[in-house]
Structure 1
Amino acid sequence: MKVFLMLAMCALLLSNTLFYSRAESGFTIIYAAEMAEANHPQANYAHLASLLTQHRATERPVFFLFGGGSIGPSPLGFFDRGAHIINILNTLDPDAMAVSHRDFAYFSEELSQRAYEAAFPLVLSNLYDPMTEGNLDGLVDSILVQRGDIKLGVIAVVAPYVVQQYALERLQVTPAERAILLQASKLRAQGADLLVLMHTTELDFLPGLLSDGTIELAFRNNYDGQQLLPDQPNIILQQELNQALVVSAELDKTRQLQNLNTHYIDLETLPAEPQVARQIQDHSQRLQLLLREPLGRSTVSFTTLRDEVRNRENAFANFVTDTLKNYTGAELAFVNSGTIRGVKDYPAGTMLTRGDILAELPFRNTPVLLELSGQDLISVFEHGLSGLDNQRGFFLHSSGVTLFFDSTAPAGSRIKQLLVNGEPVVASSMYKVATLQYLAEGGDGFDILNKRSKLSFFNPDDRNIADIIAAAIKNQQSVELVTDGRLLDVSKQGQP
């Protein structure tokens, strides 16, 4: 009997020891996002793979969360709509990927296809598709992942503007807070120890959800540097491109988060993992001959840096709109500044290649010819000027237009004078206007364009804007990209 009692006590002690060793659990979360350029020369997925290999070699449970924003746009994505990104991520084996707004760059049907190609879940918690009466086909509302004895719940939300930005007419973005609460309740019922939110925009209710324990951690891409919320260690910001975050923490005996530490890793400092480097090279080599094709030389320097494109007249944008106007035979043309994505300085004498043009114009946008009234034009350009406040990319570049505006005036009343081919716009007159399919379908909030008549014009093989611009440069052999005062901010340059 004594022997039995001693054995029972030993078993109890052993059980308690195992329980408490399980209850005090350390873990690591590796987070990265916004890596649309798979073959970035300094920091890419091969460097991220080395970081993952390093941490996965330890006994500590490691979760890999990818914040999305990488399916598009990119030069390679122009051809395969981001399929190569999913292929590479399948090798890196994330536990979950958040769907961010840029993942809709090739629209919802392509995103759905990418989700079925992925060997990991694509998570978006506040999207509703009336066609499925649930989420977009292929996406999941949330996911529960277990590593060791830790169950991690993953939630992701997007901002409502994604519907306008990418003309997702059928889809609806539901309120983020309501979606988070719904998924948090579901994941807790499934036994989640820890809940993580991935998001890309400021959420004013987030501190409250963290303080009351609805979620434990939030990851956000914050490249604009604007952080309005209080500085909290549980709101973890990725503030630079080509950066990964390594978060280490513990769950105590009551499964509360303890000892949270965040390390910011510059991926450029890591070696490239050979297998993934070869995979990236295979994808890149297929296009190198095409991308290196010389088109023509720029006789002057020009830039496509973000601030130079999204705030003011730009020489490259002028060439794009002038070419679009001439190609379609329109009276005027306009494109949204967000369609130009190269973010690059070009010295005078640069030989422009097809790869340069695809980097600048990575979306597969085809030209559209519309019939708009003068009043429509006033409304359209006024909406475009509202984009000056946040550089979201719907500031309009134009051809055949001279626009005097005041950037300091309230949004909605910034136009001071609008001329079409040198004459004041007439509200009741009708104009033939060239633009891009994205805008013509209501993208970036230009809903009025989706309601206007489309005119026919000759566009063989449905050529897209990148091909049209490349052909124009190749035909001219040398191009002089200049500004000519067609977009003038009177608050900085005086009244017209």
Structure 2
Amino acid sequence: MLKTIIILIFTLSISIAPILVAAQDSIKQATIVFTANMADVSAKGGKSYSRLATVLKQQRNENKMTIFVFGGGSVGPSPMSSFDRGSHIIDLLNTLEPDLMTITKREFSYFEDELSLRSYEAAFPLIASNIFDPLTQGNQDGLHQYALIAKPGIKIGFINIVEKEVVTEYLLKRIEVVPPEAVVHSLANQLKAQGADLVALTYSKPLLLYQDFLNSDIIDFAINIRTDGENFNRSIITHKYNFRISEKNNALKLGLQWQDSEKLNLYIEKEEIEVGDYLEDPEVALQVSSYNTRLDRLLNQHIGTLKTPMNSIRKSVRTEENAMANFIVDAMREYVKADVAILNGGSIRGGKTYTANSVLTRKDIALELPFRSRLIKVSVTGADIKTILEHGVSAVEELKGRYPHVSGIKFKYDTANARGSRVTSITFNGKAVIPTAIYSLATSDYLIGGGDEYPLIKSADSTSQTNASLPLISEVIISAIQRQQAIAPRVDSRVLRENE
């Protein structure tokens, strides 16, 4: 009897084993390492690249099915990018060997043609799924509409949505941004027809539409390119397979496991990697160091000292009067001898705090004003000034870069009022601005050209200067500091929010 049972068990084990093996064989696995928003290659920021290189080497040694996705947000703006338009970022990434890079608004910091040049320097595809260029009657030259990444036995497709605001915020003259609903479903089907096991969506601005895509299995998982640390961008998407990094300079590690069957059975394990905990990779550290040596040689010239503290923290320059911003617009107004100066807070990008007695260098100003915006003087009416200021305070709650900093005038606004009717008073030399009077305005070519969705001022009359003859605002500020040697920026109640 015992012999019969043993024979029976042995027979069953033989018949069951192939089924278990077959089931095991149908399970597929992959690991995605994702990071983004690494524009800074200074002595501090550059360490993120050399440490990320160590993370990638370890992960690739552990798992050959690793896919490295670089989320962009890095080609610009930065001090080094103001010289090479982001070529150094592509150079570093070529060493790190991403499987793909997704495009964000910041990749357009130096306009369409420069991004196309960067794409041809890259040894990896740059993905933008909803861009249309009339010149090519398709995607912008050099960019890919999607990526299908193949590893042994698996294929994962990637779709990347660029925010529609890129056209107005970065003053792009040529490309159009196609609504995501018009492309995601179609591209997901194309990828699946090409054998994609999974389809991923990357994006910067969360839309409930993306949750619908997840719920209906059009896409299998999504990654928000921005970080949780950017409070203005808290996600409205609650799906368990919607991911993003909680802190800048960290990386996401997504462990994917799914069964190759008629009904996808997907499991994703998320781990956030603190890149700063890793040692620097010597090769990449040397590469970063060479760029910093070059940057220091170009920009480490001392230009003056600071008597009082100031900051360029994002929330401050986009929601309130700011001492550094006041110094910048005052210098702009003085340089061209204008009645008024206005500059959008989004032009100031350093995100730094400066203590009293700090030594200022050219590098500091390049960090604060990395865009190559030029100073222009135009004639506008008092009504035009009100229109500009209304737009500037229309989205203060959202930390939009359009927030206006002013010189030569004072104004009050009330966010309890409807957008477009928030400015309650504007004074020039202590008297109310006259709507029909003409005032000279110092501003940036970016703002007067409609950047940050500013309304085009049709009545604005500029001087006969050509664009090439307009001075860079950064150089105007450097000259002002050099002339004064010691500066003391301050807040003087030129902008008042009435409902605070």
CA contact (8 A) 1:121 1:140 kept: yes
Instruction: Look up the match of 1:224.
Output: 230
Instruction: Look up the match of 1:344.
Output: 352
2:246 to 226, 239, 247: 239
1:429 matches 2:437: yes
Instruction: Look up the match of 1:384.
Output: 392
CA contact (8 A) 1:22 1:149 kept: no
Instruction: Look up the match of 2:70.
Output: 66
CA contact (8 A) 1:26 1:60 kept: no
1:488 matches 2:488: no
CA contact (8 A) 2:208 2:237 kept: no
Instruction: Look up the match of 1:321.
Output: 329
Aligned partners of 1:25, 1:262: CA distance in 2, in Å? 17
* Structure 1 runs, 4 residues or longer, greater than 4 Å off: 13-22, 457-462
- What RMSD, in angstroms, separates the aligned Cα atoms of the two structures? 2.2
Aligned partners of 1:187, 1:66: CA distance in 2, in Å? 20
Instruction: Look up the match of 1:304.
Output: 312
Question: Residues 259-298 of structure 1 correspond to what in structure 2 (within 5 A)?
Answer: 259-298=267-306
Instruction: Look up the match of 1:89.
Output: 93
What do residues 421-478 of structure 1 show as CA deviations (whole Å, max 9, x unaligned)? 3332222222221111211221100131477332136998643111111111011110
Letter in 2 for 1:227: R
1:417 to 419, 425, 441: 425
- Structure 2 residue runs without a partner (length 5+): 1-15
Instruction: Look up the match of 2:255.
Output: 248
Instruction: Look up the match of 2:178.
Output: 174
CA contact (8 A) 2:211 2:238 kept: no
CA contact (8 A) 1:209 1:215 kept: yes
Return the offset for 1:345: 1.1
Instruction: Look up the match of 1:32.
Output: 35
Aligned partners of 2:80, 2:459: CA distance in 1, in Å? 33
Aligned partners of 1:452, 1:459: CA distance in 2, in Å? 16
Letter in 1 for 2:153: D
Return the offset for 1:387: 2.7
Change (3 A) 1:88 1:423: same
Letter in 1 for 2:38: M
Instruction: Look up the match of 1:472.
Output: 480
CA contact (8 A) 2:345 2:403 kept: yes
Change (3 A) 1:458 1:69: closer
Return the offset for 1:256: 2.5
Instruction: Look up the match of 1:10.
Output: none
Instruction: Look up the match of 2:9.
Output: none
Aligned partners of 1:295, 1:461: CA distance in 2, in Å? 24
Question: TM-score, normalized by length of structure 1?
Answer: 0.92
CA contact (8 A) 1:81 1:106 kept: yes
What do residues 342-372 of structure 1 show as CA deviations (whole Å, max 9, x unaligned)? 1111111111111111111111111112222
Change (3 A) 1:98 1:317: same
What do residues 122-178 of structure 1 show as CA deviations (whole Å, max 9, x unaligned)? 101111111211111111111111012111111000221111101113221111122
Higher mean C-alpha displacement, 450-459 vs 148-157: 450-459
| Partner secondary structure for residue 307 of structure 1 | helix
Change (3 A) 1:126 1:337: same
- Paired residue total: 481
1:187 matches 2:194: no
What do residues 2-51 of structure 1 show as CA deviations (whole Å, max 9, x unaligned)? xxxxxxxxxxx999998755531111000000000023526411111111
CA contact (8 A) 2:69 2:99 kept: yes
| Partner secondary structure for residue 248 of structure 1 | strand
Change (3 A) 1:330 1:55: same
CA contact (8 A) 1:249 1:257 kept: no
| Partner secondary structure for residue 316 of structure 1 | helix
What is the aligned-residue identity percentage? 35
Change (3 A) 1:204 1:377: same
Aligned partners of 1:273, 1:228: CA distance in 2, in Å? 34
| Partner secondary structure for residue 412 of structure 2 | strand
CA contact (8 A) 1:296 1:477 kept: yes
Instruction: Look up the match of 1:23.
Output: 26
Change (3 A) 1:424 1:456: farther
Aligned partners of 2:17, 2:375: CA distance in 1, in Å? 72
1:211 to 205, 212, 215: 215
Question: TM-score, normalized by length of structure 2?
Answer: 0.92
CA contact (8 A) 2:73 2:107 kept: yes
Change (3 A) 1:450 1:141: farther
| Partner secondary structure for residue 97 of structure 1 | strand
Aligned partners of 2:178, 2:428: CA distance in 1, in Å? 40
Instruction: Look up the match of 1:6.
Output: none
Return the offset for 1:326: 1.2
1:162 to 146, 157, 166: 166
| Partner secondary structure for residue 195 of structure 1 | strand
Higher mean C-alpha displacement, 121-130 vs 406-415: 406-415
CA contact (8 A) 2:409 2:427 kept: yes
Letter in 1 for 2:154: I
